[in-house]
Amino acid sequence: NINISICISVYILISVSIFTLTAFYAPWCGYCKKLEPIWYEVGAELKNSGSPVRVGKMDATAYSGVASEFGVRGYPTIKLLKGELAYNYKGPRTKDDIIEFANRVAGPAVRSLPSRQMFEHVQKRHDVLFVYVGGESLLKEKYIDVASELIVYTYFFSASEDVLPEPLTLPELPSVVVFKDGTYFTYDEYEDGSLSSWVNRERFQGYLQIDGFTLYELGETGTDPHYSDHLGALTCRSLGQIVVDFQFGHMNGSDYINSLIMGEVSVPSIIILNTSNEQYFLPSEPVESLEQLILFIRSVLDGTAQAYGGDGVFQRIKRVAYDARSTVMSVFRSSPLLGCFLFGLPLGVISLMCYGICMAESDDGAEDMEMMKREGLTDEEEEEEEEEERRHQTAKLERPGEEDEEEEEEGDEEVEEKSPVEKKLD
All domains of the chain, ordered by start, with CATH?
2-106 (3.40.30.10), 108-203 (3.40.30.10), 209-307 (no CATH)
Pairing mode, strands 19-25 and 53-59:
parallel
Inform me whether the pLDDT recorded for 308 exceeds 60.
Answer: yes
pLDDT given at position 421? 47
Q: Which of these ranges, 90-94, 241-245, 335-339, 349-353, has the smallest mean pLDDT?
A: 241-245
pLDDT at 256 over 90: no
Question: In the chain, what's the furthest Cα-to-Cα distance?
Answer: 159
Element at 22 (helix H, strand E): strand 19-25
Sheet with strand 111-112: strands edge to edge: 111-112, 156-159, 129-133, 175-180, 183-186
- The terminus-to-terminus CA distance of the chain in angstroms comes to 103
Q: Which of 328, 353, 354, 352 is nearest to 341 (CA)?
A: 328
What does the pLDDT look like over 186-240, one tens digit per residue? 999 888 889 999 998 898 888 887 777 777 677 666 544 444 444 444 444 445 5
* Distance of alpha carbon 152 from alpha carbon 149, whole angstroms: 7
* CA gap 99, 53 in Å, rounded: 10
Residues 6+ apart with CB under 8 A from 146: 156, 195, 196, 199
pLDDT at 24 over 60: yes
**Is the predicted pLDDT of residue 23 greater than 60, yes or no?**
yes
Query: Which stretch of DSSP H or E encloses residue 30?
Result: helix 30-48
pLDDT tens digits along 86-137: 899 988 889 999 999 999 999 999 999 999 999 999 999 999 999 999 999 9
- Greater confidence (395 vs 401) lies with 395
DSSP letter string, 245-258: G--EEE-SSSHHHH
Catalytic residues, by residue number, are 29, 32
3-state SS assignment for residue 337:
helix
Question: 312: pLDDT confidence band, cut at 50, 70 and 90?
Answer: confident
When pLDDT is averaged across residues 400-419 and rounded to a whole number, the result is: 52
Phi, psi of 51 (to 5 degrees): -70, 145
Q: For residue 285, is it left (φ>0), alpha (ψ between -120 and 50) or beta?
A: beta
Give 54's strand partners.
Answer: 20
Q: Write b or e for each residue in 350-373: b if 16 or more Cβ atoms lie within 10 A of its Cβ, otherwise e.
A: eeeeeeeeeeeeeeeeeeeeeeee
Using omega within 30 degrees of 0 as the cis cutoff, is the peptide bond preceding 283 cis?
no
Report pLDDT for 404.
53
Q: How many residues does the chain have?
A: 426
Q: What is the mean pLDDT of residues 274-300?
A: 84
